[in-house]
A and B are shown apart, each in its own frame.
Chain A
Amino acid sequence: MTEADSRYEPERRRPLGGDTIYRWLTAGFGLLVLAILGLMLFEMAQGSLPSLAKSGWSFISGKDWDAVQGNFGALPFIFGSVVSAVLAILVATPLSVATALFITEIAPKKVGGVIASLVELLAAIPSVIYGLWGVLVMAPWLQQSVQPWLIDHLGFLPFFSGAPFGASRMAGVLIQAIMIIPIITAICREVLLAVPQSQREAAVALGATKWEMIRIAVLPYGRSGVLGAVILGLGRAIGETMAVTMVIGNSPLISMSLLSPAYTMPSVIANEFAEATNALHSAALMEIGLILLFVTLAVNVLARVMIWSVTRGAKGGVA
């Protein structure tokens, strides 16, 4: 080989290399998601125009929902959705975090693994099955056992006044809570597993008991992740349709009582879309969908702000 043969000859970049194609392909799909969201918003806004024009702001503030008379006030549904979801989160969060803590910190590894996979299995059960159980088993039990007791002993509180309905806000909240427990637990477990062993050791070496170790080292380290799990659960709870529709009683009432029937935004859409024959009615349902979208969005933004303010200044941790 002569010296001239081994001279460096640069290879030129090909104009349409694999990386270029790949970049445009992935960018295209990424934009597609945004486009779908945009289109959905546009369609829903357009579809709700008749209702927007007729009802204006009274759509949000009105309490009367009468498709026959053409009165559409969605406040009972908005109230029902938000209140039920928040209550469901209050019920589900302690249970979920405790379950996740048991799996990661307390149970022997094998037992924890079995429970973790069972919890994930729960998340795979179709919601109509939860609903069926709720309406056939839980609601009658609430009506015959739990609610009468509450009325007798705590009836002086506005939350437990009225007659025992069975299918009630209480049933809706419980079914929502049961349904979001698996997802919150599963995410919390991942978050807690990601807490470094060195953090646990730090606490234990200071003379912390197991509970103190969890309190000062494990939970603070994973707090933003746990909050994230709760928010995801909240989103699920607000959007949950089938099971809630089956047990919540479906009456557009605004009542403080947990025993009274209630209604949610997804439920009214599911119940009425088939019979919404006139344009105004279907526009009103469309507008509820739009509000549901915005409420979910607002909850998420609020939650992000919350996470941000809690973790502000603290570095590290599991996001």
Chain B
Amino acid sequence: MNAKVTLEKMSVHFGANHAVKGVDLDFAANSVTAIIGPSGCGKSTLLRAINRMHDLVPSARVSGRIMLDSHDIYERSIDPVAIRRKIGMVFQKPNPFPAMSIYDNVIAGYKLNNGVQRSVADEIVESCLKRVALWDEVKDRLKTSAMDLSGGQQQRLCIARTIAVQPEVILMDEPCSALDPIATLKIEELIDELKERYTIIIVTHNMQQAARVSDATAFMYLGELVESGATRKIFTTPEKRQTEDYITGRFG
């Protein structure tokens, strides 16, 4: 297995609260890894450490190492802004920029990093919207507000915005929890297609979803990594009792 992202003894503290406790975990390149676990188990906290989102929270402290292709992304000399261009993120609630059009939303991140020529921008917008299967639905109204889209469309727009920056890893923090079943299905199909190009790490509290979309699964409980491995194995023959209890619905 070729690990794209590796956590080594990774811990996250918020003040005195030890939210993620010494996790060792590999995320394979060009595959989907799901992180599951009950609410408050630290799975979102772990995910946000991977693109240094905790830098925004003054009380948060990340220790241990997080390696992206064998570089520690928390090393002093590394620019967190550059890291986030390599490791994109899709959030729980769709969060397009309300003051921008659909077109401007897609190109917003790309524009920050590169000077944009009109023709290049047009191409990027079209290809990104096509990859998230939104192009046909919005191609005639690219200049209208992103807020006119449905929740599912907005989330696909946010994914398009993320891939326009050309990341290598995409983090998804319960990307379907605010969506209806049909929109959820579309996002799940999309995840399956995206893994050809990107390494995807998805946090979900929906075990069926983890089973459907992921190649590997990690189960967390009370801030600790209980068990990880191939999704098929975790869901059929887990090694730990806690994992089995959780996936069979005995708690959580």
A interface residues with partner B (beta carbon < 8 Å): 108-109, 196, 198-209, 212, 216-217, 220-221, 223, 311, 313-317
19 contacts between A and B (CB under 8 A): A109-B58, A201-B53, A201-B56, A201-B89, A205-B88, A205-B89, A205-B91, A206-B84, A206-B85, A206-B88, A206-B108, A207-B113, A209-B81, A216-B108, A217-B97, A315-B98, A315-B148, A316-B98, A316-B99
Number of interface residues of B (CB under 8 A): 30
Contact: A220 with B112, CB < 8 Å? no
Instruction: Give the complex CA separation of A314 and B147 in angstroms.
Output: 8
Expressed in whole angstroms, the minimum distance between the Cβ of A227 and any Cβ of chain B is 12
> Contacts A199-B95, A207-B112, A207-B113: A313 and B158 contacting too (C-beta < 8 A)?
no
Which residues in A have their C-beta under 8 angstroms from that of B158?
A: 202
* Closest residue of A by beta carbon distance from B51: A205
> CB < 8 Å: which of B53, B84, B93, B97 contacts A207?
B84
B230 at the interface (CB under 8 A from A): no
> Told that A201-B89, A216-B97, A315-B145 touch, could you supply 9 new A-B pairs with CB distance under 8 A?
A202-B158, A204-B84, A206-B88, A208-B81, A208-B109, A209-B112, A220-B100, A221-B97, A314-B145
Q: How far is the CA of A202 from the CA of B146 in the complex (A)?
A: 14
With both chains docked as a complex, state the minimum distance between the C-beta of B58 and any C-beta of chain A, in angstroms: 7
In this assembly, does B204 line the interface, its C-beta being within 8 Å of a C-beta of chain A? no
Q: Are A220 and B97 in touch, CB under 8 angstroms?
A: yes
* Interchain CB contact under 8 A, B53 and A204: yes
The 5 residue pairs across chains A and B that have the minimum distance between CB atoms: A206-B109, A316-B98, A207-B85, A220-B99, A205-B89
Out of A109, A202, A208, A317, which one reaches B95, CB within 8 Å? A202
Q: How far is the CA of A311 from the CA of B99 in the complex (A)?
A: 8
Interfacial chain A residues near B100, Cβ < 8 Å: 220
Across the interface, which residues of B come within 8 angstroms of A196, CB to CB? 95
In the bound complex, residues from chain B placing their C-beta under 8 Å from that of A109 are 58
A208 to B100, CA, bound (A): 16
Q: Which of B54-99 contact A (CB under 8 A)?
A: 56, 58, 81-82, 84-85, 88-89, 91, 93, 95-99
Q: Which residues of A contact B29 (CB under 8 A)?
A: none
The residue in chain A whose Cβ has the minimal distance to the Cβ of B158 is A202
Q: Residue on B with the closest CB to A312? A: B145
